[in-house]
Amino acid sequence: MTDKNIEKDQALENRGTNRSHRPDSSAFKSFIGTNWGERPAGPARQEVADYLPARHLQAVKPFAGERLVVPAGPLKVRNNDCDYRFRAHSAFAHLTGLGAELEPDAVLVFDPLADGSHEAVFFFKPRAPRDSEEFYADARYGEFWVGARLSLAEMEVFTGLKCAHIDTLPARLAADNTPLRVIREADPAITSLVDQIREDAKISRPVAEDDALLEHFSEIRLCKDAFEVKQMELAVKATHAGFDQIIKELPRAINHWRGERVVEGAFGARAREEGNGLGYDTIAASGNHANTLHWINNNGPVNAGDLILVDAGVEVDSLYTADITRTLPVNGKFTEVQAKIYQAVLDACEAALVAANRPGCRFREVHEAAMEVIATNLEKWGILPVSKEESLQPTGQQHRRWMPHGTSHHLGLDVHDCAQARREMYLDAVLEPGMCFTIEPGLYFRADDLAVPEEFRGIGVRIEDDIIVNADGSVTRISEDIPRTIADVETWMARVQNS
């Protein structure tokens, strides 16, 4: 066969090798595996390992006699042979304690035991020896390309879990026809494997049974343990540093044709320095862009005299994220109109916090307290087309024109954490120790909104803080140190920019 025919017959998936020439001589293969020094010692046991047994007991409680399959998820292709940074499924991260970019393609399995309990077994791809082709030729997993993976023994020390090679997973899942449940959304390949094992064993299970596993794993994260609370505090502290960096860069943003990107970049750089990265795409919304709730294009100018709404959070290495919004006067001082709107939103924040501190407060009552303040101010300003009382009725809700989103959501491994929880466990639930959530009311007066005074148009304000419920049922605003009052914000900006 000629070289021309070889090129013609080359499969598409193999053409990525055309851009480079890898050594494949027998002499090279013999030489590459020799004369390497001792490997450094593996990592010590991670702190979170001590919290995993309690999490596992919660996880398996409703599923006696069933084998539970929790994939980390695969690497996802960004383009051609380049992958996105890996981020494990949150259920996997919670139950293994693994954060950062560990461990693509891994699977945690809870094996049922005869006494009704479960044994957690962690299946992953350990590093290959240095005389293997993977060592030098595998751009996804090879040590030469992405660094050394842990050995089975090292991973057992690090996680505190029993570990096994990922190649043994299919046999384990198919053993003794034990009923299986899987987190279906985490890894399509593992879900297909589970479905095939069920089919081969003639075991038919509705998808709803797998969904119940995801629901349960979401609900057990509603109340954070002590390790998780500490991680949330670290995430808030790192996010504070990110906002400091934004304030430092604001003068440069004013003179840039895409100043919102300057703000976004300032925070993003600090997020990577202080943590794993961003917990979600940063909203850097100057002027009227603040009235687009999820403005992540961040491609507009930042004008002196405007407000800029920044909604951002650092995800620390454990994958827990903060979620903070501050609305800043670009030139360091609020105008009278800006201050009036800002203070109304701040008052709504305070009312929501007071409500959360009441014994027996339900999650939805935090929102209701904020809405009472929002509606009161809109009525006072002559904007509401009806009375405050009528607007606050379920059949009214006219005030929601200027705040269409909710006031709070749970926070943790996901910015909108525990999203698969049932309504009675979330919206209608009484606040319990360990719950972590946001308080984030806002007012949004779009530039084309003819129902508001002209001086209000183009102004959007949101203030968002992160809250933890303490052991005694009281709540703490863990973002208290990030300035939020009008005077404190102005002082903060002057101090940072003059430092």
Structure tokens at 355: 């409500």
pLDDT tens-digit map of 375-434:
999 999 999 999 999 999 999 999 999 999 999 999 999 999 999 999 999 999 999 999
183: CB partners within 8 A, 6+ apart: 69, 70, 71, 89, 91, 92, 210, 213, 214, 217
Residue with tokens 């120790």: 433
Q: Is residue 18 pLDDT above 80, yes or no?
A: no
Residues found in the chain: 499
Contact 146, 103 (CB under 8 A): no
pLDDT tens-digit map of 303-322:
999 999 999 999 999 999 99
Rounded to 10 degrees, what is the CA torsion of 277, 366, 89, 281?
Answer: -30
Better pLDDT: 22 or 343 = 343
Identify the sign of the CA torsion 87, 91, 92, 93. Answer: positive
pLDDT tens-digit map of 187-222:
999 999 999 999 999 888 899 999 999 999 999 999
In which region does residue 97 sit, left (phi positive, over 0), alpha (psi from -120 to 50) or beta (all else)?
left
Residue with tokens 């609020």: 334
Q: Where in the chain is the domain with CATH 3.40.350.10?
A: 21-219
Residue 335 sits at the vertex; the CA angle it makes with 332 and 339, to the nearest 5 degrees, is: 95
Which phi and psi angles does 359 have, rounded to 5°? -55, 135
From 10-14, 91-95, 467-471, the region with the lowest mean pLDDT = 10-14
Q: Which CATH number fits domain 226-498: 1.10.8.60, 3.30.565.40, 3.90.230.10, 3.30.70.260?
A: 3.90.230.10
Q: How confident is the model at residue 7 (pLDDT cuts 50, 70, 90)?
A: low
Q: Where in the chain is the domain with CATH 3.90.230.10?
A: 226-498
Q: Is residue 132 pLDDT above 70, yes or no?
A: yes
Mean pLDDT of the region 24-44 = 93
pLDDT tens-digit map of 75-115:
999 998 899 999 999 999 999 999 999 999 999 999 999 99
Residue with tokens 């300057």: 262
Q: Is residue 2 pLDDT above 50, yes or no?
A: no
Q: What is the pLDDT of residue 498?
A: 94
Better pLDDT: 217 or 3 = 217
CATH code for the domain defined by 21-219: 3.40.350.10
Confirm whether pTM is higher than 0.85: yes
